[in-house]
Structure 1
Amino acid sequence: MSETATIETLSDDGSFSAYVARPDGTPRAAIVVIQEIFGVNAGIRRKCDRLAEDGYLAVAPDLFWRLEPGVELDPDIEPEFKRALDLMGKFDQDTGIRDIEATIHWIRRSEGVEKVGAVGYCLGGRLAYMTAARTDIDASVGYYAVGIDNLLREKHAIARPLMLHIPTEDGFVDAETQAAMHEGLDDHPKVTLHDYPGLDHGFATEFGKRRDEKGAELADARTADFFARHLG
């Protein structure tokens, strides 16, 4: 069952919508699904629905609401891809983390689900890392996270488990950046990195030409096991 919820900001200066997918029966835990640069589109909603099928309460907040509420873009359509890049350039990531934190609070307060994880993709993968460092999230997963090398200074604040999926041929994350991620995080007791040789950015998307079926299934199986262990 799915619905749209309204969540108040932490500073009470506004509210934003979130796609909510509910499992049958009592949720085993909750997971915040953090969007790519394309908004809460059909692919992100499908991620939520799949998590609900696995017994989780899944919530995808509209993080671009201050720029263009309800925007949904298709990465396979060039003008929409360019529009998404423009939105990402205007997006305030620090404020976005506060909205993710508001979503975590809403889940615990309004839904009564104490254990909360997060999973994010692309920009959302970066935000999942930031969420692990800046909030009390119980476990986080980032797929093809961008720009983690300039966030390594925050790694000491990561106190709960974090998993990152890294495609080695990511067109937005070069080999030097990937090396910096490994150098900075391989010895972190709470962080697990998985490389996916030959795969590109977006390999685990639900729809469209970017998906690699074998790679997506492997990463998603690792994510499912990770959440089962840390949100159980």
Structure 2
Amino acid sequence: MTGSITIDTDDGSFGAYRADPAGTPRGAIVVIQEIFGINAGIRRQCDLFAEAGYLAIAPDLFWQFAAGVELDPDVKPEFERALQLMGQLDQDAAIGDLEATIRTARGMLPKDGKVGAVGFCLGGRLAFMVATRTDVDASVGYYGVGIDGLLGEKHGIARPLMLHIPVEDHFVDHDAQARIHAGLDDHPKVTLHDYPGEDHGFAAAIGSRRSEEAATLAEGRTAAFFAAHLG
């Protein structure tokens, strides 16, 4: 079952897409959007997690300036608008919204149910920040941009974090990837996976960016990770 939910914060209320499993949730997963809003690809990610038995919630992080926006990364003018919207986002405020979403998700689970987070692109960066700044139980980031600039926060990672890194990411060069590895390879809570030959967006649920073989591998790793740490 799919639908919507309203999440309340001290700064107001915002909407989120919700996908429910057929039975009692084995846990919850907060799905963190790319720069394209809660579009068909992000809704599909939620639906897939629900099919795997999780309650999945994707909050609208652009609610304060572009509520409900849905953009297609394969359409150039929409991609360009998405870049503009990204520049308007207060990422610290977005972490507050994600924390509220995590709290809401916990309240929808049976007692002691666990909540994970997974993010893509902008969401991949925010997934790292969620891992360092919140009490989420496990996090996964796909091709997060600028994580090498956030390594000063790595001491805050107290629960498992997995990052998927496409080696030919045109937004994250090889030097940045090397810094990520140097900073996180020895962290006991962090697992890094590299994908040679793959570019940014390779694991998109739909659209031209998807690289099927690598995406399927990454999705399998994510599924096993959440099964181990959420249930």
Normalised by the length of structure 2, the TM-score is 0.98
Could you tell me how far apart the structure 2 residues matched to 1:174 and 1:188 are? 22
Contact 2:28 2:109 in 1 (8 A): no
Residue 144 of structure 2 corresponds to: 145
Could you tell me how far apart the structure 2 residues matched to 1:156 and 1:75 are? 34
Whether 1:8 aligns to 2:4 is: no
Could you tell me how far apart the structure 1 residues matched to 2:139 and 2:32 are? 10
**Shift of the alpha carbon at 1:111?**
4.5
Could you tell me how far apart the structure 2 residues matched to 1:192 and 1:106 are? 27
Runs of 4 or more, structure 1, over 3 Å off, are 110-113
The runs of 5 or more residues in structure 1 that have no matched partner are none
Could you tell me how far apart the structure 1 residues matched to 2:7 and 2:96 are? 12
Q: CA RMSD in A?
A: 0.8
**Shift of the alpha carbon at 1:82?**
0.5
Could you tell me how far apart the structure 2 residues matched to 1:204 and 1:92 are? 25
**Shift of the alpha carbon at 1:151?**
0.2
Report the AA paired with residue 189 of structure 2.
Answer: K
Alignment of 1:1-232 (within 5 A): 1-9=1-9, 11=10, 13-112=11-110, 114-232=113-231
Deviation string for 1:155-210 (max 9, x for gaps)?
00000000000000001000110000000000000000000000000000011111
Identity fraction in percent: 70
Give 3-state SS (helix, strand or coil) of 1:67's partner: helix
The runs of 5 or more residues in structure 2 that have no matched partner are none
Contact 2:27 2:109 in 1 (8 A): no
**Shift of the alpha carbon at 1:112?**
4.5
Could you tell me how far apart the structure 2 residues matched to 1:162 and 1:110 are? 23
Could you tell me how far apart the structure 1 residues matched to 2:196 and 2:26 are? 33
Normalised by the length of structure 1, the TM-score is 0.98
Could you tell me how far apart the structure 1 residues matched to 2:185 and 2:108 are? 37
